[in-house]
């Protein structure tokens, strides 16, 4: 029988870890791959009967590759799930069925994002495909992409129908805190790629990003909620190019 291991990357996820583990009971094994949480994450995971592997965190891509390496000899497939994500019964059944498809080495899952408690279908948050179901030995993550990581497959990919549920940003402070963490990684990647921030970028890039989110990606369909999110992401774009300019001056 094809063996499936579900892996949850964690750092201080005591708030979410119980419900996440419960949604993964259909997997043959569940591993919490923890970057030395200082809360009760690891203890709760062990209480729920999952294996806990602790590994120092460098970046998201490297952490996923380390998790893949840790189980490479013990499983056929790996399903990556974040602690604030849930797998429905319908998606679980679809995943188990796809494990028997022999000509696919990676599956993309659509994702339902709940942002500020609202299911968000516009502004680029749906279908928001995530390549999370991977055949061991045929996948690795590009470690030059340290955030919003990209998987590289040695073979064909497929797409599923049932969405994974993502309880994304709880509120505005949570949104700003997470975006601030992503900011450092993204600016570092831009510097490595030789991208330079010029004065006009501080105006044009946020405006282009707002237009892209609100009009092209139909953030307008979510009305006030979509307008607010498009504006917040445009503000993030401004912060990114402003920080990039600062880093350039430092260098």
200 pLDDT above the threshold of 80:
yes
pLDDT-derived band of residue 189, with 50, 70 and 90 as boundaries?
Answer: confident
pLDDT-derived band of residue 233, with 50, 70 and 90 as boundaries?
Answer: very high
Mean pLDDT of 211-215: 97
Q: What's the confidence (pLDDT) of residue 145? A: 81
190 pLDDT above the threshold of 80:
yes
Find tokens 């294996």 and name the residue.
51
Find tokens 């499983």 and name the residue.
75
State how far Cα 144 lies from the chain centre. 16
Mean pLDDT of 128-150: 92
Mean pLDDT of 128-133: 97
From the list 182, 118, 110, the residue with the least C-alpha distance to 148 is: 182
Cα separation, 55 vs 63, whole angstroms:
8
Mean pLDDT of 66-95: 97
What's the predicted TM-score (pTM) here? 0.91
146 pLDDT above the threshold of 80:
no
Superfamily of domain 4-167: Spore Coat Polysaccharide Biosynthesis Protein SpsA; Chain A (3.90.550.10)
pLDDT-derived band of residue 251, with 50, 70 and 90 as boundaries?
Answer: confident
Q: What is the CA angle 52-16-124, rounded to 5? A: 115
**What is the pLDDT of the chain when averaged over all its residues?**
95
**Beta-strand pair 157-159/151-153:** unpaired
Cα separation, 230 vs 236, whole angstroms:
10
| C-beta neighbour count of 100 within 10 angstroms | 8
Check if the beta carbon of residue 197 is closer than 8 Å to that of residue 248.
yes
Q: What's the confidence (pLDDT) of residue 149? A: 86
- Please count the CA atoms within 13 angstroms of the CA of 79 that sit on its side-chain side: 28
pLDDT tens digits along 3-32: 999 999 999 999 999 999 999 999 999 999
Encoded tokens for 57: 């965190």
Kindly report the backbone phi and psi dihedral angles of residue 42, in degrees, each rounded to the nearest multiple of 5, phi listed first.
-65, -40
Cα separation, 88 vs 191, whole angstroms:
40
pLDDT tens digits along 152-182: 999 999 999 999 999 999 999 999 998 888 8
H-helix or E-strand containing 6? strand 4-10
Encoded tokens for 6: 């579900």
Cα separation, 67 vs 58, whole angstroms:
13
Q: What's the confidence (pLDDT) of residue 237? A: 95
Cα separation, 204 vs 177, whole angstroms:
25
Domain boundaries in the chain? 4-167, 172-250
Q: What's the confidence (pLDDT) of residue 148? A: 80
Cα separation, 145 vs 154, whole angstroms:
18
Q: What's the confidence (pLDDT) of residue 18? A: 98
pLDDT-derived band of residue 184, with 50, 70 and 90 as boundaries?
Answer: confident
């Amino acid at each position: 029988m094809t063996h499936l291991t579900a892996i949850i990357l964690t750092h201080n996820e005591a708030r979410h870890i119980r419900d996440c583990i419960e949604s993964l009971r259909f997997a043959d094994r569940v591993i919490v791959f923890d970057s030395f949480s200082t809360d009760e994450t690891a203890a709760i995971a062990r209480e729920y009967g999952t294996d806990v592997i602790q590994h120092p965190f460098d970046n998201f891509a490297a952490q996923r590759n380390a998790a893949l390496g840790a189980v490479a000899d013990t499983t056929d497939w790996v399903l990556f799930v974040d602690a604030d994500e849930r797998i429905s019964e319908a998606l679980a059944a679809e995943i188990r069925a796809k494990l028997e498809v022999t000509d696919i080495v990676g599956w993309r899952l659509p994702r339902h994002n709940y942002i500020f408690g609202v299911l968000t279908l516009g502004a680029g948050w749906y279908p928001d495909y995530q390549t999370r179901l991977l055949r061991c030995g045929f996948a690795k993550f590009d470690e030059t992409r340290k955030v919003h990581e990209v998987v590289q497959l040695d073979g064909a990919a497929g797409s599923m129908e049932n969405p994974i549920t993502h309880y994304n940003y709880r509120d505005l402070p949570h949104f700003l805190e997470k975006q601030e963490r992503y900011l450092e990684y993204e600016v570092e990647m831009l510097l490595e790629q030789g991208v330079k921030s010029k004065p006009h970028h501080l105006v044009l890039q946020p405006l282009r990003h707002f237009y892209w989110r609100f009009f092209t990606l139909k953030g307008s369909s979510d009305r006030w909620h979509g307008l607010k999110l498009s504006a917040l992401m445009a503000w993030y774009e401004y912060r990114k190019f402003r920080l990039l300019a600062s880093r350039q001056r430092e260098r």
